Amino acid sequence: MKWSNPALFLGTALIVATGATAAVTASPKLAFVRANDDPAATSTFAKPAVVHIATPVPVRAIYMTQCAVGTPSLRKSLVDLIDGTELNAVVIDIKDYTGKLAFTPEDPALKDSVSDECGAKDMKELIKELHDKNIYVIGRITVFQDPYYTKAHPELAVKRLSDKAANWKDHKGLSFIDVNAKPFWDYIVKIATASHDIGFDELNFDYIRFPSDGNMEDTYYSWGAGIPKSEALEAFFKYLHDQLAPSGVVMSADLFGMVTTNYDDLNIGQVLERALPYFDFIDPMVYPSHYPTGFNGYKNVNEHPYDIVHFSLSHAVERATATSTKEASLAYVRIGTSTPAVYEKPAYPASKIRPWLQSFDYPVTYTPAMVQAQLKATADTGLDSWLIWDPANKYRSLREVLKSDQ
């Protein structure tokens, strides 16, 4: 089944991104906090001395946007929410849908990538403050959706088949880097390394996929012609792992929710078994509102938050813990010569699956009961870690749930 994102039909008051990002309600303009000084113009620099804290068990996290982290009052509200409840982690944008960075890295090669609209000049100090409160800090990096880099390096972008000199854009007007454009891979590694160097405990990779939600018949990929999307994406996963894992970086991957139940690549290259070998956590975005009408027989998916999350995560756990699969991977060895092929795979722990859950109003008002249903479904699947998404950073219903649990 090809993924169908219902958010395509939203008006301009909402921005929907089909990575971990979901419906973003219009909100007042947030303050911007940014250092004006550039890093020294030198090709070498000393790594800052930072301390990373161990991944908590379980992880209970909320998300903080790039603009929110630069808005002192909103930032404090979210930190207080974490500090005063069972929450113990936060996901902060490092590189968001604009392609720009939320802080100024020490690496001078990245200085032109820093946002002049949203971000925090004191990111390193903030991370230390969070660590002092024993809060685990996850940095989110939007990868192949990158309007900034496609404009700066159009030769690496997905092109329009009808005009191969023009960058393809989705329905939101956002452009993508071609997954096979390997020069971009090194750029992502630089961002990841710089982020880990200032204290981010875990790096969360989003939009690790081919584009969707646009005129797909007009896409042209000038890099890696003929390579299946799933194979191209796995090659990127392996490269990330090979470059970053030796330094001890904890890594997680955001995948579409239907990756847990589908065995095709959803036309975006994502196959669960091809991601499992390369990340410490797989974070499927099982937002009930983002499943198509009729999924698993549900006429109204918004009426089934428990059922959808439980169904999706049960399949994810089953596939992660299995010792064999029909899905090929660079990391798996074929068993015998049977047709269709069967591959031996490691039995990954169920805890590798760590879902993104919904606490945002789309397309209906999301109630505390609907949030609680997702949490129960996750627990009933045998999982105890989760990440909560609200792009408006309000967490109205989640706050009620956490309050009732105290």
Of 311 and 2, the structure prediction assigns the larger pLDDT to: 311
Give the pair of three-digit tokens for residue 276. 């499992």
Average pLDDT, stretch 369-392? 98
In this structure, the number of other CB atoms found within 10 A of the CB of residue 238 comes to 16
pLDDT band at 391 (very low <50, low <70, confident <90, very high): very high
pLDDT in tens, 190-209: 999 999 999 999 999 999 99
Please give the Cα distance from 116 to 112 (Å, whole number): 10
| b/e burial code for range 118-139 (CB count within 10 A of at least 16 → b) | bbbbbbbebbeebbeeebbbbb
Integer Cα distance of 220 and 186 in angstroms: 22
Token pair for residue 400?
């009620």
The type of residue at 322 is: A
Condensed to tens digits (0 to 9), the pLDDT of residues 83-112 reads 999 999 999 999 999 999 999 999 999 999
Give per-residue pLDDT as tens, 247-280: 999 999 999 999 999 999 999 999 999 999 999 9
Q: What is the pLDDT of residues 34-60, one digit of tens each?
A: 333 343 333 444 555 789 999 999 999
Could you give the dihedral angle defined by the CA atoms of residues 322, 386, 132 and 190, in that order, rounded to the nearest 10 degrees? 70
Share the mean pLDDT of the chain.
89
Helix spans in 245-340 (H):
272-275, 305-321
Q: Which residue has the higher pLDDT, 148 or 37?
A: 148
The predicted-structure confidence for 70-79, as pLDDT tens digits, reads as follows 999 999 999 9
Predicted pLDDT at 33:
36
Residue 159 sits at the vertex; the CA angle it makes with 158 and 162, to the nearest 5 degrees, is 150
In whole angstroms, what is the distance from residue 350 CA to residue 347 CA?
9
The CATH-assigned architecture of domain 23-405 is Alpha-Beta Barrel (3.20)
On the question of a cis peptide bond just before residue 346, with omega within 30 degrees of 0, the verdict is no
Residue 383 · residue 353 · CB < 8 Å: yes
Q: Are 75 and 81 in contact (CB under 8 A)?
A: no
pLDDT of res. 46: 52
266: phi > 0 → left, psi -120 to 50 → alpha, else beta; which?
Answer: left
pLDDT in tens, 219-232: 999 999 889 999 99
Residue 20 pLDDT: 52
- The per-residue pLDDT for 225 is 85
Give the pTM.
Answer: 0.89
Assign 405 a pLDDT band (cuts: 50, 70, 90). confident
